[in-house]
Structure 1
């Protein structure tokens, strides 16, 4: 059960209403009239934490901690850096090459998947799994409608396949050696102090830690590498058998690598 309702912007445009109706059907949540009500009032009236708002052809999730909506964020700058030959720590850790198939088990709003999609190119494939129905919905719809400023970013976004699924279950359905790379970016066990901008995401994200059973499944499924992103000081790397650590020397984020 998703603790969320869906409504429109204050002006109740007909296009926004159609979007809200589609979201209500897809997510199985209640559609309510906005009537210019503030978000705090709607949350109290309907006893929910979150309000999904359809407006101007897109969706925003209003949470008590702030708003969530799809945007490529840092992926645009990271792609620019790659094009200029400066590289990318995640792409290097995954050892991405053109034509590879990447399974991103923790999609979120897709920044890492977008970068991976750019690197593997049109001949490659990036599948993004997201356990939260709300995040998967907002990301999927946002990727469909986002108008990128350049062809490379536009193409990279459109090639990402979004699936609402729990990676623990999804990995078990895949044949041995069926993708090149499996990537995990779970919610950090010890969040970085300066990462306040993702606080709204924390309220609806999957907080379960990555378990060794999933890592073993990933090793069975991947042909090339299994990679996990975590706080650079995290003990999760050792606990889960990621003995090779990659990333910037002074970076607060590192990547655990298992070569296959």
Structure 2
């Protein structure tokens, strides 16, 4: 995909300098924001990175944008505090001493929530563009929720495909492994994920991947899938326990290492 780096309109010198440095790092052109529309109309670029006035990095294209935000992590934590169930946390059962591997980071909303309950989250993201925006956000985003700021500090984000990563880790490297591959039957009502779809890595989870995830885990592996997806049928017999949302059909399947 073809892209450039620019700033928001009327950016100050510091933001322009930052954008030029990013363009150099990405090995692409820096373009003044006033000229970006010409590049889009002529078809010279597919999208562009924007450094906004707060120094945050986002991706924009003709009819959409993708940027880092605290997402639904804040809402989910409020729900937990009010006694509502959260199947992700229930299935993972993270403890304060646990190091958790999040195989498919995406916007990092799951990783942020997990990190609040764990010692550390190591996350991988296979998409270069999603990785760049989220990595930048984890370093620079400031939430009005202190728990989110603390959680983000406990996330180590790595640009790698989980299939490659799990094969290069020693046995029992992590207490818990969590994988949330892209659904075969997307839930388009999930507005937070929709902007990512054009940049996401679509690679189905294989049984060999699952075996490596079990191998590198110490306590358990949790796979998030849809009950109507073929992945569920393929791996459901491996689950020790399931947490299923009746409303969405989302399944958190737990494989306890002690039962393998």
* CA distance in 1 between partners of 2:242 and 2:229 (Å): 11
- Mapping for residues 171-190 of structure 1, pairs under 5 Å: 171-190=166-185
- Please, which runs of 5 or more residues in structure 1 have no aligned partner? none
- The 1:195–1:30 alpha-carbon spacing in structure 2 relative to 1, beyond 3 Å, is same
2:80 matches 1:82? yes
Comparing 108-117 and 5-14, the one that deviates more: 5-14
Deviation for aligned residue 1:197: 4.7
2:60 matches 1:54? no
2:11 matches 1:16? no
2:103 matches 1:108? no
Deviation for aligned residue 1:127: 0.9
Equivalent residue of 2:171, what SS? Answer: coil
What residue is the counterpart of 1:95 in the other structure?
93
Equivalent residue of 1:30, what SS? Answer: coil
Deviation for aligned residue 1:64: 4.1
Give runs of ≥4 in structure 1 deviating > 6 Å: none
What residue is the counterpart of 1:71 in the other structure?
69
- Mapping for residues 196-215 of structure 1, pairs under 5 Å: 196-215=191-210
Find the partner of 1:127 among 117, 122, 144. Answer: 122
What residue is the counterpart of 1:26 in the other structure?
25
Contact preservation (8 Å) 1:185, 1:230: yes
Equivalent residue of 2:193, what SS? Answer: helix
Deviation for aligned residue 1:11: 1.6
For the aligned residue pairs, the C-alpha RMSD in angstroms reads 1.9
Contact preservation (8 Å) 2:115, 2:151: yes
* CA distance in 2 between partners of 1:3 and 1:102 (Å): 35
